[in-house]
Structure 1
């Protein structure tokens, strides 16, 4: 998106604020936060899921606004795609129970009888 950005058809709400290349940085920064949060302990990855939700939600809102304003009637399909395949999956993944691996007792790690 930075080097060869796609057409901004349906993203008029966003491009009124700044260029599509600037919006690409939203995806990049949120991706870095999401990736970094994957290495946190179980239960502490809230900000990663929150960061993952931001870009597709912003895009879904922009496409929905384009449909409502009459700017891009086909945007409803793109908005629904972002809401289901991105936002929906992220929300589902955030609710899946996670389990951490229990720590081994020190004696077992050192090969001593328990």
Structure 2
């Protein structure tokens, strides 16, 4: 029964929806981690000058839930999910870049590049992948049946 449910869920979501669902759960969990045990704010002074990291956690949680909901939308209507997925890592990359420019956090340049490549870049690439770009694998012929 669990395999049947997994197949049904995969068929409902498709490739893009699965990607969005994984992102949505991940971003939501990352935001919750900021509420449960906030990390230090080194390199994020631009954000913490506006409000605390606990408040910024809600950006991750809200966008994560929006991404998760958009995973169940049809292809073509899931674009807002990809935009919501881009918001938190873009904000964090901007904060780290500013920290490098102002001299507050020299390591921030590497963290910003990490956010821009492994988050923003991957999300932008996945947004361009069509749902059915690879033809289905051919099924083997049945033996013993007349054609």
Q: TM-score range by the shorter chain?
A: 0.7 to 0.9
The aligned residue for residue 92 of structure 1 is: 125
The TM-score, its normalising length taken from structure 2, stands at: 0.66
Distance 1:32 1:80 in 2: 25
Q: Which runs of 5+ in 1 are unaligned?
A: 100-114
Deviation by residue 1:31-81 (Cα, 9 ceiling, x = unmatched):
000000000011100110000000000000000000000000110010000
The TM-score, its normalising length taken from structure 1, stands at: 0.85
The reply to whether residue 21 of structure 1 matches residue 54 of structure 2 is yes
* 1:10-89 aligned within 5 A: 10-89=43-122
Distance 1:70 1:93 in 2: 34
Deviation at 1:98, TM superposition (A): 1.5
Q: Which runs of 5+ in 2 are unaligned?
A: 1-33, 133-147
Distance 1:84 1:48 in 2: 19
Number of residue pairs matched by the alignment: 99
Tell me how large the CA RMSD over aligned residues is.
0.6
